[in-house]
Chain A
Amino acid sequence: MQLSQATLTHQTAISPSFKQYLTFNTGGECYALGILLVKEIIEFGGITKIPLMPTFVRGVINLRGAVVPVIDLSARLYGKCVDEGKRTCIVIVEVPNNADGVTELGVVVDGVNEVLELNSAELTAPPQFGSKIRTDFIEAMARLSDRLLMILAPEKVLSVEEMASLVAVTEHVNNQEH
């Protein structure tokens, strides 16, 4: 097995059609993110809550001196916060923004599984219905031996602008209420 994996890895090094993904669980479903977007994975904890934020913004963390906002993916996708467990962790991702830079974001997930290498032949287009989420959040679907894996589109799911507008709307609503 070790040998075959090594062979596989060797093959992927040659063929550009292979791409690596980080798989994780959130909201009871298995998702994947392109590994090049992922910077690192850290243990859950040390989150400072920020008042008057929508539920999917869990707060900010201090990541080696940099203040990084943390998004709850489950809340973003299903409107339901993650239950903190042993395997809960924060995936630090780099999302490209409009100003030709990248924004670091922390994403709270139920648990990280593994790094998968998928052939483009294994990927299919997202379905038009049948999923619990907006299909534009899904970049593609991967057929694994026993299940399907949703590969998230980070520029949609973790769109900084959209989230900022959402925050603004929330603030506006809150101001009106006051």
Chain B
Amino acid sequence: MNTVKLIASSNADSASEWLIITFIQKSLRYLHRYGVVLPYLLLGLTLGFVLAAFWCIWSILIAAFLLVAWGLERQLYVELQEVKFAYLQQVAANEHLQQQITQQSDNGLAELLSTLCQQIELARGDANNAVTGLTADFQFIYDALDHSIHLANNASAQFGQNDAGFAKDSKVELANVIKALNAALASKSELVQSVNYVSETATELMTQTASIQKISKEINLLSLNASIEAARAGAAGRGFAVVAERVRELSDITAEAANLIIQRMHTLMSAVGASSTKLSASQQQDQHILIEAEQKISAVLEQMNGVNQQLNDNVHALEQNAATVQQKVATALMQFQFQDRVSQKLGHTADALGQIQLLLGSEQALNKNQITAISEQLYASYTMKEERDSHQGAASNTTHVENEITFF
């Protein structure tokens, strides 16, 4: 189909285009004819090319490896040479140093030991001075505390005395006040008693008046009886009848008077009763007030006592505290004795160092026996057990002759 198209179009185009088209047409024709063989040909060509390429690459790689290996070997050799040289140099330097050390060791050590001894002595002196100063200071503090305790004691004693006196005075005065109040109350109660007595008397009077009434009534009856007797006596009793009548009248008057008295008495009694009630109420009120006052006063006194007690307690606590501090200071003063021990220890050490120095000065080689001798001498010079313990702890492998004498 394409070919037909191309042929159709070629009719209208130039001669070059015609040639190309002709070539393509020929090619297509050959392709069509030998098309089956072409792929195998191409495969064979490709395989051959690939094999050639592999060979070339392997050759190049092997050559390169050989080259690199040779270079590395050279470099390693050079470096080993350098290390060997440095080692040799070091060894030489060490030898030199050793020589130097051996030469200088005797003189330097002796000097060092001497310096150490001096330093130790110096330290001893300083410590002594410092501790002496401290001891003096603490002694001063101790004295000052003693003085304070003395003062506090005095104050406490004085305070206690004054205080007790004050409390007692207050108590006495307040008791006087209460006594006065009681006296007032007693006088009032006397008044109440007198009023009550008046009331009782009035009641008695009432009773007596009532008896008067009764008597008047009986007289009335008697007079009536007398009148009757007089009447029965007839003419002879006439005069007596008059007397009887008069007696009756008198009895009536007496009864009226008694009635009046009783009425008045009732009025009086009610008035007295009212005042008595009021007085009693007032007395009770006074009693209540008095009791309250007593309670309050005792409460105040108790409070005062409590405050005093507290003050006393505080002063005592202050005293105790001061005493405790004083005790502590005394203990501290005792502790300062350690300086002595330190000084001794340092002295022993300095002695040992001095001996070592002497040995070193004799320009003989130090041997182990000499050192052991020094150590044992040092051990024998110890006065304190802790020194020996420490020494034994430091040199537990060496045995020492025990010196039984221990100084404190």
Show the binding face of A for B, using Cβ within 8 Å: 2, 5-6, 9-10, 12-13, 20, 22, 35-36, 38-43, 86-87, 89, 112, 114-115
Chain B nearest CB, measured from A46 CB (Å): 15
Q: Chain A residues near B228: list those with CB within 8 A.
A: 22, 35, 38-41, 115
Given the contacts A13-B238, A115-B245, A22 and B224 also touching, CB distance less than 8 Å: yes
B231 touches A115 (CB 8 A): yes
Complex Cα–Cα for A114 and B231 (A): 13
Give the tally of cross-chain contacts (CB within 8 A).
49
Complex Cα gap A156–B38 (Å): 199
Distance (Å) between the CB of B345 and the closest chain A CB? 130
State whether B242 touches A9 (Cβ < 8 A).
yes
Report how many residues on chain B are interfacial, defined by Cβ distance under 8 Å: 18
Q: Which residues of B contact A36 (CB under 8 A)?
A: 231-232
Q: How far is the CB of B155 from chain A (nearest CB, A)?
A: 89
Would you mind naming 18 contact pairs between A and B with Cβ atoms under 8 Å apart?
A2-B246, A5-B242, A10-B238, A13-B235, A35-B231, A36-B232, A38-B228, A39-B228, A41-B224, A43-B218, A43-B221, A112-B221, A114-B224, A115-B224, A115-B227, A115-B228, A115-B231, A115-B245
Q: Which residues of A contact B217 (CB under 8 A)?
A: 86-87
Given A35-B231, A115-B228, also A41-B221 (CB < 8 A) = yes
Which residues 360-403 in B have Cβ within 8 Å of A in the complex? none
- Smallest distance from the beta carbon of A36 to chain B beta carbons, Å? 6
Q: How far is the CA of A38 from the CA of B231 in the complex (A)?
A: 10
Given A36-B231, A114-B248, A6 contacting B242 (CB threshold 8 A) = yes
Report B251 CB to chain A, min CB distance, Å: 12
A104 CA to B245 CA, complexed, in Å: 25
B241 in the interface (beta carbon within 8 A): yes
Selected from B218, B232, B238, B242, the residue in CB contact (under 8 A) with A35 is B232
| Cα–Cα, bound, A43→B225 (Å) | 11
- Distance to closest chain B CB from A88 (angstroms): 11
Compute how far the CA of A100 lies from the CA of B217 in the bound complex, rounded to whole angstroms: 36
Beta-carbon contact of B231 and A20 below 8 Å: yes
Look across to chain A and name the residue whose beta carbon is closest to the beta carbon of B249: A2
Chain B residues within an 8 Å CB radius of A114: 224, 245, 248
- Write out, one digit per residue, whether chain B residues 225-262 have a CB within 8 A of any chain A CB (1) or not (0): 10111011001001001101110100000000000000
Cβ contact within 8 Å between B221 and A5: no
For B221, the closest partner residue in chain A by CB is: A41
- Bitwise interface map of B from 142 to 175 toward A, beta carbon under 8 Å scored 1, else 0: 0000000000000000000000000000000000
Additional A-B contact list (4), CB under 8 Å, known A20-B241, A35-B228: A10-B238, A36-B231, A112-B224, A115-B224
Closest chain-B Cβ to A151's Cβ sits at a distance in Å of: 15
Q: Smallest Cβ distance from A99 to chain B, in angstroms?
A: 22
Q: Bound state CA distance, A41 and B217, in angstroms?
A: 12
- Name the B residues within 8 Å of A10 (CB-CB): 238
